[in-house]
Amino acid sequence: MTERAPIYLDNHATTPVDPRVVDAMLPYLTTFYGNPASRQHGFGWRAEAGVQKARRQVAALIHAEENEIIFTSGATESINLALKGVAEGYRSRGNHIVTVETEHHAVLGTCQTLERVGFSVTRLAVDRNGHVSVDDLERAITDRTILVSVMVANNEIGTLAPIDAIGKLCRERGILFHSDAAQAVGKVPVDVRSMNVDLLSLTAHKIYGPKGVGALFVRKSGPRIFLAPQIEGGGHEEGLRSGTLNVPGIVGFGEAAALASLEMDHERERVGGLRDKLEDGLVSRVEDIALNGDRTERLSGNLSITFRGVKADKLIMDMKEIAVSTGSACSSASPRPSHVLRAIGLSDEDSHCTIRFGVGRFTKEDEIDYTINRIAEVVGRIRKTSPTQYLALS
Ligand SMILES: *Cc1c(COP(=O)(O)O)cnc(C)c1O
């Protein structure tokens, strides 16, 4: 078991940069290094052309117009701009926001901040599989509601939300709709027009692009959305996000988006096949485990499993060559159980025994075979060596 190349199964936390993306980026670090805001020479024009191409590529992936894409430093910043920008820009219309208990901390934390400045926030519960009910959402809406924020795909359990129905409801009621699509974009089809999304947050590093670059889709028509900027300065990005653009990052994001547009269907099948193999293998080889998230309405690379009586920290430590995670990377610095697992009804004990696997573009079949065997072996050993703890649960 020694000296095996490490296996990366944490593609929800981040993904490696695709070599084709690196190739697209390199000239913008060394040759076309101008500032796209420099309008007086060719260095600026070349950089600007790279950014415009990327804007088209990212827009195409979500069926938006080019001028509806605002480049940011990632989904966290996009979410902050969307929520705070609407709160500030539409304050005269109302002060109520509806979201869901299982959202990413970027959404939940921003909502908490808005509560401190006079907004009221409803956090909808989810069912056992992580689904939010559109009826619950409809009941939560008041004449003070200005914004609904629901993610397309959950980053821990992979559950996909009924975005079409939510978008339709929000449009009928004249309420703005933001969706965090960081995990979904490039993995499942996302169409901001047919889904009636007004604001959509995305990030490059979850789709085999570089870290530190993302975008916010801001609808320009039907209706046009007016956000209050949260970072002010030179007026870049339609005045919504000042600061010199991260040109190589943006170019890489564009290339990653173009590759995702081309390869999504094929990749979804391949990645889904490997995930199913991992799931079936673990279910047949390891006793007393439970799968979290929806069986079908789920990201193809996602697998969240509770190994009853086996602490996830211990399991991860005993198979260091396999990179997986407990809950989300964003909160794994804290020992508190995951808010998502709690929301779907897991006890704290079961939460601490849960592992998230994220299969991705570069996962190989033999890595899945190895992982199944290794986990079966390590879980068996842990349960045998601390049987009192395990049996106490049964
Ligand atoms: C990764 C992630 C984010 C944060 O994106 P960054 O680009 O890392 O800021 C937000 N929401 C979801 C669902 C994510 O998976």
Give the closest residue to 256 by CA, choosing from 316, 197, 194, 214: 214
d(CA 41, CA 223): 37
Residue to mutate, 188, 205, 206, ligand 1, most ligand atoms under 8 Å from C-beta? 206
Token pair 């975008």 in the structure block, residue: 215
d(CA 159, CA 131): 7
- At residue 327, the pLDDT reads 66
> Any catalytic annotation for residue 330?
yes
Fill in the amino acid letter for 63: H
Which class in CATH covers the domain with range 7-15+264-393?
Answer: alpha beta
Strand partners for 7: 322
Phi, psi of 325 (to 5 degrees): -145, 160
Number of H helices, E strands in the chain: 13, 12
- The CATH 3.40.640.10 domain(s) of the chain lie at 19-259
111, 170, 330, 353: which one is catalytic? 330
Distance 124 CA to ligand 1 centre (A): 20
pLDDT value at 156 more than 90: yes
Residue to mutate, 17, 72, 76, 331, ligand 1, most ligand atoms under 8 Å from C-beta? 76
What is the percentage of the chain residues whose pLDDT exceeds 70? 95
On whether the CB atoms of residues 151 and 181 are closer than 8 A, the answer is: yes
d(CA 306, CA 377): 16
As a dihedral over the C-alpha atoms of residue 121, residue 124, residue 71, residue 208, rounded to 10 degrees, the angle is: 150
Q: Does domain 19-259 have CATH number 3.40.640.10?
A: yes
d(CA 105, CA 119): 18
Q: Which residues line ligand 1 (CB under 6 A)?
A: 74-76, 104, 106, 151, 155, 180, 182-183, 203, 206, 214
Give the closest residue to 375 by CA, choosing from 300, 279, 274, 295: 279
- The CATH 3.90.1150.10 domain(s) of the chain lie at 7-15+264-393
pLDDT value at 329 more than 80: no
On whether the CB atoms of residues 8 and 360 are closer than 8 A, the answer is: yes
- Predicted model pTM: 0.95
Q: In terms of DSSP H, where are the helices of the chain?
A: 19-25, 27-30, 42-62, 75-89, 105-116, 134-140, 163-173, 247-285, 312-317, 339-343, 348-351, 365-385, 387-393
pLDDT value at 97 more than 60: yes
- At residue 394, the pLDDT reads 54
Residue range 206-216, pLDDT digits in tens? 999 999 999 99
Residue range 106-149, pLDDT digits in tens? 999 999 999 999 999 999 999 999 999 999 999 999 999 999 99
End-to-end CA distance of the chain: 31
CB burial readout 3-22, b (16+ within 10 A) else e: eeeebbbbbbbbbebbeebe
